[in-house]
Structure 1
Amino acid sequence: MENIEKRHIINSHNLSDEFYFNNILQEAYTSGLLNESDLENIQLQCISLLSYKSERYNKAESSSIRVETAESIMKSNIYSIGLYLKSLPDPDYAVKELKTVRISDLYEKGRKLVNTRFQVTKRIYNMVQKNKLDTLNHSYNSTLSENGIGIFFKSYNLEYEAHDSPASIDYQLCNPVNDLAGVEFIQKYLENLYLENEFCMNFAAENIHYLLYGYDKGYTELLINIFEQLLTTALGCSLANRNIRELNITGEDIQRLFEKLLRYDNHTLMLNIHKATKDIFEELNITNLSLQKYIEKSLSKITTNIENALKLNTLSKVFITSINPNLEPKIHFESSVKMDDEEYRRLIEELLRCRFSSDKLELIKERVKSFDDLEDILLDAQLEEEEFISLFNTLGDVEIAAMIKRHPFESDIQAVDLSDTEQVVRLYLENYIKQLPTNRQELILQIAKHLIGD
């Protein structure tokens, strides 16, 4: 008889961690562990619990409540009950609890677990703050700030919104957290981030900076995962017999790796990657089993990237060559002294009175001797696009590059912070560059990359 009972045990793989309570009711009914009367009884108890919680929400002052609020409270109740049911030995045991224990009692047990998880998650957050990386990446820093994931610990409402995760999280993990909600999601996210940080802390901050700069000079504004970039490069260093800690793999190394790995079938490639992983564990003295498992879990994604790169001959997009920005050639640019405020004001008034573009251009050429004054005029003189273009045509490549440096148009990330006038200058400058011959475009953009000055 015991074996017959076991045939009706619910398969835990069919249950969603995010919607555990609803799933277990469905699976229990399908498997015959609950009948319609049981379901009706559970539903009535859930409604009774909602009524009680709604009254508490209103502090007994009114029996009415907004539909959206009632739905949120019901989701919160179900989330808390589901958290308790997940803590039981198996789903079949959880169904027995549903049949024999009052829903209000299951909720109270779940609510205590939610509070415990919240306290544990707060400790993990403090741990992550202690092993936080020294990086310029904006999404990483903003996510770990008080206005990022820190919001959760100020705003989480375990009484009425336990299913919610109030936080600003932009930073993408190598292994994203799926099928979780509420405090469970935040806890798992922080646990994964802590492990990623632990791995990254094996490398000097400057080496991480050089690697990410080699990946993209604008990496500070990108939504990239630092751990994935470091692990991929560490694997490449191991495969190329380079020093893993230095994260420095050359273009020649990458070419040799391409020729070597191209001869491998999928099985041989995986064997070599796993061998390289063991080398990383040994070289970096990684003995933490949780970190080892997390790294191994990340290998599938990285291996797929390598396989695709081998097919497309783009391995240099996977294994990145570090670049020290301090060693790149620099072009110094300085503006001459600006005109005094009164003189500048009179010039702007004259330009605004001018009817013809040719007169405006002649006036600017005659009176403006400073690059800073020229930039101000672009912002203040209300020029048309044709007038912008005529003015840009009088400038040299370095001056146009300096204008791009001050009004970059390659990324829209910070454009929301620009004034309407700055947006116009940015747009006209971009349009101007696009109509130039390709070789001159490339030259000006290269100059802009190496330009330094005030």
Structure 2
Amino acid sequence: MANIEKRHIINRHNLSGEFYFTSILQEAYSCGLLSDSDLENIQIQCVSLLAYKTERYNMGKSSSIRVETAESIMKSNFYSIGLYLKTLPDPDDAVFELKTVNISELYERGRKLINIKFKTARHIYNIVQKNRLDTPNHSYNSTLGEDGIGIFFKSYNIEYKAHDCSASIDYQLCNPVNDLAGVEFIQKYIENLYFENDFCKNFDNERIHHLLSGYDENYAELLINIFEQVLTAALGCSLADRSIRELSITEEDIWRLYEKLKKYDNDTLMMAINSAVNHIYEELNITNHSLKGYIEKSLPKIVTNIEIALKLNTLDKVFITPKNPDLEAKIHFETGIKMDDEEYRELIEELIECRYTSDKLKLIKDKVKSFDELEDVLLDAQLNEEEFNLLLNTLGDVELAAMIKRHPFESDIQAVDLSEEEQAVRLYLKNYMNRISNCRREKILQIAKHLV
């Protein structure tokens, strides 16, 4: 007799990965797998577990805790139970466990799994530290640092905040981690980052740097995913019959690709992409099935970008021509010699006490003789925006470019690290640049790119 496939009552797609325990209770109740008495019994056991954990939290001294703390402990308990229930073959089996096994026992099983996952995540984190990329990108480096993901392994509270994943994570993955929390989120994030690094390690750091510089010379400050750009460039090279490892495609190559690919329908385009991916696997000797799976999971986003670019004739925004920023002409800017500290303090005090804008500007003009001093004055003299603008009106294009170089208003990544004075300078500078003519603004921005 042929095997009869088991019929599942609960659809696992209706369950939340982040709030698995509560979602399975809701689904099981709505499907009739849990009765009112079952649900009441589970709730009573959850309250009993909370009371036990609360007593431990207070070390037996008191049964009174803040509502927020109690809610956090309850979420932690639910998270631990849900983690165990996820490991069962299907949701229906999980409901059977809920009806037949004590909640405190399910919690202990989940807690043991969290311990294992925590150790596994820390092991993967150590591996990722070894295969990390050599890049100036701020979000990448800060996320992988001790003050990024490293915070999690120092502060994770398995006992009372298992659902929490305190960590500073700015770097955007090509395949974001969704619907997970706690150690599950961290482990999945690190695993995805490992695959991204593993792929990028097939290419020289310098070639990646030139590729990303072609995307934006200030990519170090951008929330950009390095893997996505490298994989897209590798696809472009494969499609254009260029060396994949060089990650280099010319403007002429891109034009030819556009003329070729715009004639394809969706199916033909996908066939060309799949063929290019297989060529990448062969050229880079990629045999790891998990890495291949991650690459293929990343393709829909890239293919969509290609399809849109073919419709808008903007394929050069998808396939990037590398640029070596070191070969571009540089403008050397001398900042001058600063006055001594005592003289500078007297100037700032005089400027702050001065009532009239015209007098402030005259003081600055007479006494400030270097760019560094001018920058210090902008930060320290408590100028309002009108005074700031009048002072900027006295500067030439190179000086304004130097100011933009020092205080880049187009990036918000590190804004939280800035003082109020630095944030004000960025804002005033941005507003000033928006008011001048487009022609002059573009000229100043170009000077800033080449300024040393």
TM-score by length of 1: 0.90
Counterpart residue type for residue 287 of structure 1:
T
Return the offset for 1:425.
4.5
CA drift of 1:381 comes to 5.6
CA–CA distance in structure 1, aligned partners of residues 108 and 352 of structure 2 = 72
Change beyond 3 A, Cα 1:180–1:427: closer
Alignment-derived partner of residue 273 in structure 1: 273
Deviation at 1:385, TM superposition (A): 5.4
Summarize deviations over 1:373-410 as a string: whole Å, max 9, x none: 44445455666656555554444332332233233333
Question: What letter matches 2:189 in structure 1?
Answer: Y
Q: Call closer, same or farther: CA 1:438–1:74 in 2, change over 3 Å.
A: closer
Determine if the alignment matches structure 1 residue 264 to structure 2 residue 264: yes
1:45 corresponds in structure 2 to: 45
Q: Is the 8 A contact 1:8 1:31 kept in 2?
A: no
- Residue 108, structure 1, aligned to residue 103, structure 2: no
Contact 2:10/2:28 (CA < 8 Å) preserved in 1? yes
* Residue equivalent to 1:155: 155
Cα 1:115/1:329, change in 2 over 3 Å? same
1:362–1:145: structure 2 CA closer, same or farther, 3 Å change rule?
Answer: closer
For the Cα contact (< 8 Å) 2:222–2:413, is it kept in 1? no
Asked whether the equivalents of residues 286 and 292 of structure 2 are also in contact (C-alpha less than 8 Å), the reply is yes
| Alignment map for 1:319-338 (pairs within 5 Å) | 319-338=319-338
In structure 1, the partner of 2:197 is 197
- Correspondence list, 1:43-442, <5 A: 43-339=43-339, 369-379=369-379, 388-389=388-389, 391-442=391-442
Q: Is the 8 A contact 1:163 1:183 kept in 2?
A: yes
Same amino acid, percent of matched pairs: 75
CA offset digits 1:11-34 (Å, max 9, x no partner): 322322222222222333333333
Which moved further from structure 2: 186-195 or 214-223? 214-223
Q: Check 1:51–1:276 CA distance in 2 against 1; reply closer, same or farther (3 A cut).
A: same
What SS is found at the alignment partner of 2:248? coil
> Matched residue of 1:332: which SS?
coil
Distance 2:261 2:187 in 1: 39
Task: Provide the secondary structure at the position in 1 that maps to 2:159.
Answer: coil
Gap change, CA 1:45 and 1:392, over 3 Å in 2? closer
| Cα separation, 1, equivalents of 2:15 and 2:122 | 27
Query: Partners of 1:351 and 1:45 in 2: how far apart?
Result: 69
Letter in 2 for 1:408: P
Matches of 1:18 and 1:357 in 2, distance apart?
57
Equivalent position amino acid for 2:59 in 1: K
- Residue 254 of structure 1 aligns with an amino acid whose one-letter code is I
Letter aligned with residue 151 of structure 1: I
* Inter-CA distance 341–179: structure 2 relative to 1 (3 Å threshold): closer
Give the paired residue count. 451
Task: Give a deviation string over 1:125-145, Cα, whole Å, max 9, x none.
Answer: 111111111111111111111
* TM alignment of 1:13-24, pairs within 5 A: 13-24=13-24
Deviation at 1:85, TM superposition (A): 1.6
**Distance in 2 (alpha carbons) for counterparts of 1:19 and 1:261:** 44
Write the letter of the residue equivalent to 1:192: N
Shift of 1:267: 0.8
Is the 2:172–2:225 contact (alpha carbons within 8 Å) kept by the matching residues of 1? yes
Q: Which moved more, 1:291-300 or 1:415-424?
A: 415-424
> Which residues of structure 2 form unaligned runs of 5+?
none
CA contact 1:8–1:33 (8 Å) conserved in 2: no
Change in CA separation of 1:58 and 1:323 when aligned onto 2, cut-off 3 Å: same
Give the whole-Å Cα distance in 1 for the aligned partners of 2:103 and 2:163.
Answer: 17
TM-superposed CA distance for 1:102, in Å, is 1.5
- Paired residue secondary structure (2:13): helix
Q: Partners in 1 of 2:246 and 2:153 — Cα distance? A: 37
Change (3 A) 1:264 1:377: same
User: Is this contact kept in 2: 1:361–1:391, CA < 8 A?
Assistant: yes
Shift of 1:248: 1.1
Answer whether contact 2:404 2:448 (CA < 8 A) is retained.
yes
**Contact 1:17–1:180, Cα closer than 8 Å, also in 2:** yes
Equivalent AA in structure 2 for residue 10 of structure 1: I
Q: Structure 1 residue 198: deviation in Å?
A: 0.4
- The 1:410–1:84 alpha-carbon spacing in structure 2 relative to 1, beyond 3 Å, is closer
> Aligned equivalents of 2:355 and 2:98: distance in 1?
83
Give CA deviations for 1:278-320 in whole Å, capped at 9, x if unaligned. Answer: 1111111111000000100110111011111111121111111
Look up the equivalent residue of 1:125 and give its one-letter code: Y
Conservation of the 8 A alpha-carbon contact between 1:407 and 1:426: yes
Change (3 A) 1:196 1:107: same
Give every structure 1 segment of 4 or more consecutive aligned residues whose post-TM-superposition deviation is greater than 6 Å: 2-5, 345-356
Q: Distance in 2 between matches of 1:253 and 1:390?
A: 48
1:411 CA drift (Å):
2.9
Distance 1:389 1:449 in 2: 22
TM-score scaled by structure 2? 0.90
Shift of 1:202: 0.7
CA separation of 1:272/1:25 partners in 2, compared to 1, >3 Å: closer, same or farther?
same
| 1:446 maps to 2:446 | yes
Answer with 1 or 2: which has the greater Rg.
1
Contact conserved, 1:203 with 1:245, CA < 8 A, in 2? Answer: yes
